[in-house]
A and B are shown apart, each in its own frame.
Chain A
Amino acid sequence: DAGVIQSPRHEVTEMGQEVTLRCKPISGHNSLFWYRQTMMRGLELLIYFNNNVPIDDSGMPEDRFSAKMPNASFSTLKIQPSEPRDSAVYFCASSLLVEQFFGPGTRLTVL
């Protein structure tokens, strides 16, 4: 299996632009998680899905952030409009039981 796939690996954008991060979970996994990692705040859970349904989005910072999972093999995290404080590494992870498998992350820089 290829593992969790994220794209793009790096994204540089300007403040105010829309950013879309993409994730393909491991085939057969039924839960998907979006995390954000920064030096100041560490690793934070933004939202997670189970069987394509959002279960807990309490970590989503504000309305500028939205996430979708239209099918079992694809999810997006969108930021609109982006701000410099959104600069971070965004990880996607998937799981079938308890163990979560992480993707390589997307490094987002908002200028």
Chain B
Amino acid sequence: AQSVTQLDSQVPVFEEAPVELRCNYSSSVSVYLFWYVQYPNQGLQLLLKYLSGSTLVKGINGFEAEFNKSQTSFHLRKPSVHISDTAEYFCAVSGQGGSEKLVFGKGTKLTVNP
């Protein structure tokens, strides 16, 4: 079974500042990793995914994440945030070659202030 820990429940930042949202996972098998974003009163939208290959993954809206197998982490980063990035961000994991189930973290609420 897999599990995900998002270390920060809330992250406030100022506009144009860099941000990192942390995600750690545990799994006994190789994994696929995902970051989803949820804007208020909307469903979840995929930001980026790691399936295999390069450990640095680029997604939409200028976000990127780096898969670190030794540290079992998949932190999300953006060098300069905008007000419109205010949302909740979810890290998720699934085991390769098995169930399609995604296990989600509890989410990190990113608030970008002017």
Contacts and interface: CB of A to CB of B under 8 A. Distances in A.
Contact of B104 (A43, A48, A104): A43
Classify chain A's interface size: 20 to 34
Contacts of B34: 99
A91 B100 contact: no
Most A Cβ at <10 Å: residue of B34, B43, B44, B107: B43
Interface residues of B, number: 21
A5 B110 CA distance: 27
A42 interface: yes
Contacts of A105: 42-43
Contacts of A91: 43-44
B94 interface: yes
Contact of B90 (A31, A33, A43, A98): A43
Contact of B44 (A31, A48, A98, A102): A102
B13 interface: no
Contacts of B94: 98
A60 interface: no
A52 interface: no
A17 interface: no
A56 interface: yes
A27 to B, nearest CB: 18
Contacts of B51: 98
A100 B36 CA distance: 10
Contact of A56 (B42, B44, B99): B99
